[in-house]
Structure 1
């Protein structure tokens, strides 16, 4: 496994990190033993950065990690998060995470999911999230205060230049890299470590492997290999967080980390030339939008809508019906309250897209 320095922390971090959001259920529950085996295998193959959070996998991820950690033989580092703005609530969540994972400290603790600059400022107020995290660090409960964000490059640069953090986690992949590259460059210049999430675009890249085949080079067996290598090739990026739901996926991803060959400038320019602005508007399936008062499965509609951006309206309707088992008419129940758009980390026009689906469905059934 190849390792990179995480900013100025002095820590050597595996170029492939473990994203703890993609554990699979066995029936209706999570088999902790089976899931923990995947984590342990990653550790055996050299992964030493394990990222989890409250609420991941129906609030089971931290428990699964704890189940695995007791069987880990090599040194590892733990990343978890809190989106609480109130300092007291953040402290409570931190203590819960420590207890769940049976840890004395969190190595990388995130001020989680900063959506925009107003949101960032709300975490910095007296008695707020950052102040509580700083106090916990002084007490030894946190080793490094970092942040995660879905902001654009300019906003990330502004946050980085506040000199408050030692690292960050950001969504970054072949689909959206032009829109966040400036933020990564700013972080690198300031000496921050950088973990990147969603390297596979929420699964869209392997699902549309033929479409995205242009990112593959002779060194890549699959599009997945190419997407991971694209991220890992960046000097600004410390670790690429890959969600792994099986031992086979661990082996495949760790192979990239062991045999990393950086993309040359010519290949990077070739990829950039084939990207287009609308590709930054693909839903990555983070599911933060799932707060609909009408019980519309918003994230599934948005993932289906990706087919409009990549293909056509009919594919959206086909995906809804045949993949998700959802009637398009559900989209027409939207009351345009805006809750989902307020939660969307990518600032997608969800209401307009739901309206589109309703129109397309009606037209197709005339």
Structure 2
């Protein structure tokens, strides 16, 4: 395993981090133990950063992580969790609940969670969540205050510039890097750690190996490896989150590090240019556009629209709707153009326009 400094914190974390959202949702105590074993397998391979949150895995991910870290030596692992409450009291309750579930006296990295817009950031400040977070850090309940962002690079950079945080977690991959590039640059200048989520674009890259084959370089055995290496070749990136469900997922992700040499800046620029030319605005299926007031299945329809970008064939969109999602293009016709989805979209995609295109196929 390789490690990188997490900004200016003095901590070195594994360049592959354990994303604890995709662990099997437990139905029994045995399921909890089995999920914890996946994390212990990763720990045994050198992974020392475990990212969890409330609501993950049926609201039991923090519990699973808590079970796993009881078997880890103190000082050899770091836990990252989150709270999206806007007011001070709600934030404090969320923090105390996480401490209890994890069995910790102090959380290593605690997030102001899921900033979608600058207005949300202002709301967290106005209603007291940020004040409560700073107070908790002063009390020793939080070691490092960080935030997660789904905003644009420019908007994320503005939050970084306020100087409150030690790190940021953001979506960064071979399909959305132009949208987040300025955030990486700002984090690097400010000395913040950067953990990237969605390095495989929510499954978009491994599900289209032929279309993404061009990102493979010398020594890249497959597009999944190439995508992870693209991510980790950016010097501003401290670690890439990979969601683990089984022990095989751990081994597969770590295999990407075998023989890994970061790409040069020139190679990265050339690859980014090819990506920008080939793809523009792919939906990564994060689902933040939901719920839709008109009950439109937006992520499924946008997934199908990706086929138009990837393959250029309208029939591929209809086939994807039918065979993958059991939907018809008429589903797009329920859109009332209210605009709620576009306000919430982490990629700022023209969803309404795309729904109209699907309806007209």
TM-score (norm 2): 0.92
Contact 1:291 / 1:339 at 8 angstroms: preserved in 2?
A: no
Match of 1:239 in 2: 239
Contact 2:26 / 2:32 at 8 angstroms: preserved in 1?
A: no
Match of 2:250 in 1: 250
Q: How does 1:153-232 map to 2 (within 5 A)?
A: 153-232=153-232
Match of 1:7 in 2: 7
User: How many Å apart are 1:73 and its aligned residue?
Assistant: 4.5
Inter-partner Cα distance in structure 1 for 2:319 and 2:16: 35
Inter-partner Cα distance in structure 2 for 1:189 and 1:273: 23
User: How many Å apart are 1:255 and its aligned residue?
Assistant: 2.7
Contact 2:206 / 2:223 at 8 angstroms: preserved in 1?
A: yes
Counterpart of 1:112 in 2: which secondary structure?
strand
Quickly say closer, same or farther: Cα 1:151–1:189, change in 2 above 3 A.
same
Quickly say closer, same or farther: Cα 1:31–1:359, change in 2 above 3 A.
farther
Counterpart of 1:235 in 2: which secondary structure?
coil
Match of 1:313 in 2: 314
Quickly say closer, same or farther: Cα 1:336–1:31, change in 2 above 3 A.
farther
Alignment RMSD: 2.3
Question: Once structures 1 and 2 are overlaid, which stretch shifts more, 191-200 or 16-25?
Answer: 16-25
Contact 1:197 / 1:242 at 8 angstroms: preserved in 2?
A: yes
Match of 2:65 in 1: 65
Q: How does 1:1-366 map to 2 (within 5 A)?
A: 1-24=1-24, 31-73=31-73, 75-125=76-126, 127-257=127-257, 259-276=259-276, 279-311=279-311, 312-360=313-361
Inter-partner Cα distance in structure 2 for 1:6 and 1:327: 47
User: How many Å apart are 1:259 and its aligned residue?
Assistant: 4.0
Contact 1:24 / 1:30 at 8 angstroms: preserved in 2?
A: no
- C-alpha distance after superposition, 1:11-44 (max 9, x if no partner): 0100111112222458999932332221111111
Counterpart of 1:207 in 2: which secondary structure?
coil
Inter-partner Cα distance in structure 1 for 2:278 and 2:343: 20
- C-alpha distance after superposition, 1:284-326 (max 9, x if no partner): 1212222123333322222222112212322122112111222
Counterpart of 2:205 in 1: which secondary structure?
helix
Contact 1:176 / 1:279 at 8 angstroms: preserved in 2?
A: no
Quickly say closer, same or farther: Cα 1:339–1:178, change in 2 above 3 A.
closer
Contact 2:108 / 2:144 at 8 angstroms: preserved in 1?
A: yes
Contact 1:50 / 1:77 at 8 angstroms: preserved in 2?
A: yes
Inter-partner Cα distance in structure 1 for 2:28 and 2:99: 26
Contact 2:25 / 2:60 at 8 angstroms: preserved in 1?
A: no
Match of 1:363 in 2: none
Contact 1:105 / 1:143 at 8 angstroms: preserved in 2?
A: yes
Match of 1:364 in 2: none
Question: Once structures 1 and 2 are overlaid, which stretch shifts more, 237-246 or 192-201?
Answer: 237-246
Q: Which runs of 5+ in 1 are unaligned?
A: 361-366
User: How many Å apart are 1:335 and its aligned residue?
Assistant: 2.9
Quickly say closer, same or farther: Cα 1:208–1:26, change in 2 above 3 A.
farther
Inter-partner Cα distance in structure 2 for 1:242 and 1:183: 20
Give the aligned length. Answer: 359
Contact 2:179 / 2:347 at 8 angstroms: preserved in 1?
A: no
Quickly say closer, same or farther: Cα 1:280–1:82, change in 2 above 3 A.
farther
User: How many Å apart are 1:281 and its aligned residue?
Assistant: 1.7
Q: Which runs of 5+ in 2 are unaligned?
A: none
